[in-house]
Amino acid sequence: MTEASAAGAATSDSPAYPSGKVGVLIVNLGTPDATDYWAMRRYLKEFLSDPRVIEVPKLLWWPILNLAILTIRPSLSGRKYATIWNKDRNESPLRTYTRAQAQRLARLIGEGALGDPARPVVVDWGMRYGNPSIKSRLEALQAQGCDRILCVPLYPQYAASASATVADKAFAALKTMRWQPVTRIAPPWHDDPVYIDALAQSVRDALAKLDFEPEAVIASFHGIPQSYVDKGDPYAAQCVETVRLLRQKLGFSDARMPLAYQSRFGRTEWIKPYLDATVREMAQRGVKRIAIVAPGFVSDCVETIEEIGVEVRDIFLGAGGEHFARIDCLNDTDAGMNVLAHVVRRELQGWI
């Protein structure tokens, strides 16, 4: 038997492993599985135990988290989630929208859609905290024959407490795999013209449907502690740049589109200005009509629907404001999907 035929025989006797496909895994922040105390507690414990999210020494943070926060906060958060829960599907809006985004993305860039039948694309979705987990979806993609996987954190602006923790979890999963698929992490797209155009059009469309003209359209982003920025996190700078480009595209002044940050937690200083203080101050100085857009959120969730749409609205109206509007996130709209498809196509270059 020749050397070549021997090699061929060995190959034919070897087990076959599915391969040859490219996987795309879009990853959102996460969601509880239900609104009851224990479901909320599991979710909050995973989230607030992440050292990227809470940069406090574990020996100090453990008793605060387990003896105080996880005793009280699950019930409070559960009541908020209950007001926005998708009762038809028995899930949070974030899960509904993320699944829909994956399904639409699969039609846009999936099997054969990018014109390379030799390396088709499989799209899946997961959550950094809660279900479906990043590890389970990476394994599912590999089982379908994906030997190359693009992981897309659904955050237009990079923050270590958001984007980086997705990468941490993905690489932790890879450490457990005998055969690791080649994996890329998509970078943020805070200044991408396609994203800015989509945001601008969403603002124009929303304002055109209102029965009042806002005196200001606030761009609100999820906040992070000031200390994180002081350590070198680029998040605040990327938020500022997004708003600068969005103002430019809309022809808005700084006063017409101020920037603010929401969702602060704990007693430490977070990046400013704070959204709740901003809307209260605006109402107190005579501003009667505002709208709020949330460019940093790819999907509507408890922070946009409940926090902005209910809590911040009540603050503004209670301080003397008269008209308030919350502008929907891009979600799975045509414009929103155009952004995600653009990012994925860009990051798949060289593979497809």
pLDDT per residue over 123-166, tens digit each?
A: 999 999 999 999 999 999 999 999 999 999 999 999 999 999 99
pLDDT band at 2; cut points 50, 70, 90 = very low
Q: What is the model's pLDDT at position 352?
A: 82
Reported confidence tier of residue 94, pLDDT bands at 50, 70, 90 = very high
d(CA 141, CA 152): 14
Measured CA to CA, the distance from residue 40 to residue 42 in angstroms comes to 6
Segment 216-259, tens digit of pLDDT: 999 999 999 999 999 999 999 999 999 999 999 999 999 999 99
Band of residue 3 on the pLDDT scale cut at 50, 70, 90: very low
| For residue 9, pLDDT beyond 50 | no
Closest CA to 180 of 145, 147, 137, 144: 147
Alpha-helical regions (H) of the chain: 3-13, 37-48, 58-64, 70-84, 93-109, 134-143, 165-174, 193-209, 226-230, 235-250, 275-284, 313-318, 334-347
Torsion sign, CA atoms 111, 25, 234, 43: positive
Could you tell me the CA-to-CA distances from 19 to 119, 142, 297, 351 in Å, in that order?
9, 8, 34, 14
How far is C-alpha 348 from the geometric centre of its chain's CA atoms?
20
Residue 276, pLDDT score: 98
Q: Has residue 190 got a pLDDT over 70?
A: yes
In this structure, what token pair is assigned to residue 68?
A: 């105080």
Averaged pLDDT for residues 104-116: 77
pLDDT, average across residues 93-113: 90
Q: How far is CA 243 from CA 120, 189, 217, 272, in A?
A: 36, 13, 11, 15
What pTM, to 2 d.p., does this model score? Answer: 0.92
Q: What CA dihedral angle connects 131, 132, 138 and 142, to 10 degrees?
A: 150
pLDDT band at 120 (very low <50, low <70, confident <90, very high): confident
Per-residue confidence (pLDDT) for residue 68, from 0 to 100: 95
Q: CB–CB of 245/196 below 8 Å?
A: yes
| Size of the chain, expressed as the number of residues it contains | 352
Half-sphere exposure of 335 (CA within 13 A, CB side): 18
Question: How much is the mean pLDDT over the chain?
Answer: 93
Indicate whether 347 pLDDT > 70: yes
Mean pLDDT in residue range 111-115: 60
pLDDT for position 14: 59
| pLDDT of amino acid 124 | 97
List the domains of the chain with CATH numbers. 193-326 (3.40.50.1400)
Give residue-wise pLDDT tens across range 10-48: 455 656 677 889 999 999 999 999 999 999 999 999 999
CA separation for the pair 284, 321 (Å, rounded): 8
83, 91, 338 from 172: Cα distances, Å: 35, 27, 31
pLDDT of residue 66: 95
pLDDT value at residue 114: 61
Helix, strand or coil for residue 332? coil
**The pLDDT value given to residue 110:** 73
Cα separation, 140 vs 132, whole angstroms: 11
Per-residue pLDDT for 6 more than 60? no
Cis peptide, bond prior to residue 258, ω within 30 of zero: no
For the chain, how far is it from start to end, CA to CA, in angstroms?
39
Residue 5 has pLDDT above 70, yes or no: no
User: How does pLDDT run across 289-338, given as a tens digit for each residue?
Assistant: 999 999 999 999 999 999 999 999 999 999 999 999 999 999 999 999 99
**CB-side neighbour CA atoms (13 Å) of 218:** 29
Do residues 102 and 123 touch, judged by C-beta distance below 8 A? Answer: yes
Classify 191 as helix, strand or coil.
Answer: coil
- Residue whose entry in the numeric block shows the structure tokens 């061929």: 8
The pLDDT-based confidence of 266 (bands split at 50, 70, 90) is confident
- In terms of DSSP bridges, do strands 216-222 and 289-293 run parallel, antiparallel, or are they unpaired? parallel
Q: What is d(CA 274, CA 104) in angstroms, rounded to the nearest whole number?
A: 35
